[in-house]
Amino acid sequence: MSATPIKGKPLADRLRAEVAEEVKTLGRVGLVTVLVGDDPASEVYIRLKHKAATAAGIDATDVRLPADTTEADLLARVSELNGSDDVDAILVQLPLPSQIDEEKVIRAVAPAKDVDGFHPLNAGELYLGRPAIVSATPRGIMALLAEHRIELDGARAVVIGRSDIVGKPIAHLLLQANATVTLCHSHTQDLARHTLDADVLVVAVGVPALVTADMVKERAVVVDVGMNRTDAGLVGDVDPAAAELASAMTPVPGGVGPMTIACLLQNAVVCARYRTGALVYPG
Ligand code: NAP
């Protein structure tokens, strides 16, 4: 039997339509993206984010800075955006050129305008179980699991990958949903021993087919976050043959990907509510 595909687009389309309605109610939502340099992959991401934001009625400004921008200049720009009442949400596209300390820039964005949810205060609120702004991909995964009524309470969830952007936040969100969570990474011994125990398996690594069908428990729910560009096109971290065992599985492309952008737009609305005082930022 083949797994039910957990497709991202139908839910993402619905969320984007909801965001458009909320933007109308709020009057205006201002998002500023900052791209330093001309990394082709980053250019594509920025273009996609702008297209989606504009379609939802968000006032999106595309700031482009040269590749040799100094850290001080970027920090000054971020500080200006932090202080502007026209700006609800700020996104600094990563990675940044090597002369700039990413950590410093992440910390410089005002936490209530941090649409990516990467600031330590936003990460900290999540880890304490009081999520404020949560990064878009993990939020999208949780929304997809809820939409497909995947039982998380008491489930054994295994996450592979411990990045600040996906692995760690999704592990915390699963924990808050009362799953029993195991977080695996590149030092994990005998990965299959863990994955074969998973009722819900989330894979966010960036290695094509790292998880093979024999590593998946029968009837498990598999979320493949991986986006790997190969000669065969865009592939995930899970061998598609795992769908023969899983009860439900996200396809790549068309699973988690569309949810990321939809949730980013939702975050922009959350930021606008913080700025106008409709929501109070924790602390
Ligand atoms: P990342 O920062 O490179 O982190 C990768 C993680 O995988 C690390 O924690 C690493 O462990 C772990 N890892 C590497 N090799 C491993 C192995 N052989 N066994 C077990 N764990 C291993 O990546 P990321 O930003 O989280 O992204 C992961 C993937 O998701 C990428 O393909 C990315 O393109 C994709 N992604 C997709 C979306 C979307 O919207 N669909 C959004 C974000 C990311 P260590 O910590 O020990 O090094």
Rg of the chain, C-alpha, whole Å? 19
Q: What is the pLDDT of residue 54?
A: 98
For residue range 143-165, what is the model confidence (pLDDT) as tens digits? Answer: 999 999 999 999 999 999 999 99
- Asked if the structure places residue 203 within a domain, the reply is yes
Domain extent, residue 73, equals 27-112
Is there a single domain that holds both residue 138 and residue 241? yes
- Asked if the structure places residue 11 within a domain, the reply is no
Q: What is the pLDDT of residue 147?
A: 98
Q: Which of 248, 277, 261, 280 is CA-nearest to residue 1?
A: 248
For residue range 184-194, what is the model confidence (pLDDT) as tens digits? Answer: 999 999 999 99
State if residue 140 touches ligand 1 by the CB under 6 angstroms criterion: no
> What is the arithmetic mean of pLDDT over 204-216?
98
190 noted as active-site residue: no
Q: pLDDT higher for 283 or 219?
A: 219
Is pTM beyond 0.85? Reply is yes
- Asked if the structure places residue 280 within a domain, the reply is no
Q: What is the pLDDT of residue 221?
A: 98
Q: What is the pLDDT of residue 112?
A: 98
99 noted as active-site residue: no
Q: How many structural domains compose the chain?
A: 2
For residue range 18-66, what is the model confidence (pLDDT) as tens digits? Answer: 999 999 999 999 999 999 999 999 999 999 999 999 999 999 999 999 9
Is there a single domain that holds both residue 152 and residue 212? yes
1 band by pLDDT with thresholds 50, 70 and 90: low
State if residue 256 touches ligand 1 by the CB under 6 angstroms criterion: yes
Q: What is the pLDDT of residue 185?
A: 98
Is there a single domain that holds both residue 234 and residue 171? yes
CATH classification at residue 91: 3.40.50.10860
User: Residues of 21-49 as b/e, b for ≥16 C-beta within 10 angstroms?
Assistant: ebbeebeebbbbbbbbbebeebeebbeeb
Is there a single domain that holds both residue 79 and residue 142? no
- Percentage, residues of the chain above pLDDT 90: 99
- Asked if the structure places residue 248 within a domain, the reply is yes
Is there a single domain that holds both residue 92 and residue 153? no
The residue contributing the CA closest to ligand 1 atom 1 is 163
Looking at the CA of residue 206, tell me the nearest atom of ligand 1.
32
User: Which one is catalytic: 88, 93, 113, 224?
Assistant: 93
Is there a single domain that holds both residue 76 and residue 32? yes
- Asked if the structure places residue 185 within a domain, the reply is yes
Q: Which of 160, 162, 32, 45 is CA-nearest to residue 94?
A: 45
Q: What is the mean pLDDT of the chain?
A: 97
Q: Which long-range contacts (CB under 8 A, 24 or more apart) does 143-150 make?
A: 143/11, 143/15, 143/259, 143/263, 144/6, 144/8, 144/11, 144/223, 144/250, 144/255, 144/256, 144/259, 145/200, 145/221, 145/223, 147/11, 148/4, 148/6, 148/221, 148/248, 150/200, 150/221, 150/248
The residue contributing the CA closest to ligand 1 atom 6 is 161
